[in-house]
Structure 1
Amino acid sequence: MPTGVALHDVRGQLFDAAERVLVREGPSALTSRAVTLEAGCAKGVLHRHFADFDDFLAELVRDRVARIDGHAAALRESAGTGTVTDNLTRVLPDLFDPVAVAVVSLVTSRDGLRARLREARPVGVPILTDAATAIASYLTAERELGRIAEDADVGTLAPTLIGAAHMLFADRQGVPPEAEDIGKVVNAVIAGVR
């Protein structure tokens, strides 16, 4: 491996490399060696920037969770425009892009990583919990606008939709679902509250 080569945005390069390995080969292939080989740097680079590999993975997950905030804000801003079904159908592929789906698999497959993440987040699965929070916030805004029923239980609807959507997107090697299929799931979940 090359040494003495200046790396810019080391964290970003390592995260990008980890995401490529994760999507291409799955969580079991994600090792510090695989990440540094993919990034084209010495293994020591990772360990100079992170306490250990679980620390690196926890930061990778946190970085990925932070990306959901942008989607959540855009979704909430869409309240009152278009249709509720179309707004939800449009955001779900962003929330469940291949990397996000792979990160969910990573979190559920690594006990040490889950334990590290539980220090700051005692409940839920990152990505899924954050996506459900985004959906609940949006549905709350739509409820306040009178576009869904006043008694709609958004605290139940949001995780129900996220669970059903995750099932559509969970096949890491498959073809992503069509908008029509996503729309059917959205309609089924929110049909009783429109």
Structure 2
Amino acid sequence: MPTGVAMRDVRAQLFDAAERVLLRAGPNGLTSRAVTTEAGCAKGVLHRHFPDFDTFLAELVLDCAARFEAQAIALRERAGHGTVVDNLAAALSDLFGPVALAIVALVISRDGLRARLRQTWPTGIPVLTDATAMLASYLDLERQRGRLAADADVHALAPALVGAGHLLFAGQPDPPPTPGDVHAQVAAILAGHTR
């Protein structure tokens, strides 16, 4: 005899529920019970699809990191258009939305999760590492087009932008930094490197 209603795309529903819990209750409030309650399913559903909660959390983080590919493509397509500072300021504002900030906080706060992620993600913090690679790729394209100085070190500028952006957005979650704040920060970091 069936005990409930079949769930379609269980992983996506559980990930969506986890993000809502994370945004509402923070990393400490993210438990398997909170996720399954938010998803409207039995706790056993999560454990049927994931061997343990740390594996679920690692998959959640990797799912979030995978979403950066679309943003990376869009940013690379802006190379040669607009200004470098405007493009980067917009990219940082898109990158550091509430979910991405919450995911970074989750990774930093959970030792078991970091240990699990190290099995497939040997260095850095997912989301921040992806953001750095995305910005370095874009900066390299702008350097090739001559809009960034030929001697600009994109592998130093990208992490500087990501670190400063993370500090700016994580330090002011409500209200978030203004576009002018982000633009000023990017302009300061790129001073002397843009043409």
Regarding TM over 0.5, the answer is yes
Shift of 1:104: 0.2
Shift of 1:172: 7.2
Distance of 1:171 and 1:3 partners within structure 2? 46
RMSD: 1.2
Superposition pairs of residues 93-112 of structure 1, within 5 angstroms: 93-112=93-112
Superposition pairs of residues 72-91 of structure 1, within 5 angstroms: 72-91=72-91
SS in 2 for 1:192: coil
Q: Does 1:40 align with 2:17?
A: no
Distance of 1:23 and 1:80 partners within structure 2? 36
TM-score of the pair, normalised by structure 1: 0.97
Deviations 1:29-66 (A, max 9, x none): 10000000111100000000111100100000010000
Count of aligned pairs between the two proteins: 193
Unaligned runs of 5+ in 1: none
Q: Does 1:53 align with 2:53?
A: yes
Distance of 1:102 and 1:37 partners within structure 2? 20
Q: For 2:168, give the aligned amino acid.
A: L
Equivalence for 1:163: 163
Q: For 1:91, give the aligned amino acid.
A: A
Deviations 1:73-97 (A, max 9, x none): 1101110000001111111121111
SS in 1 for 2:51: coil
Q: For 1:49, give the aligned amino acid.
A: H
Deviations 1:93-135 (A, max 9, x none): 2111100000000000111110111111111011111101000
Over 3 Å counting, the alpha-carbon distance change for 1:181 and 1:193 in structure 2 is same
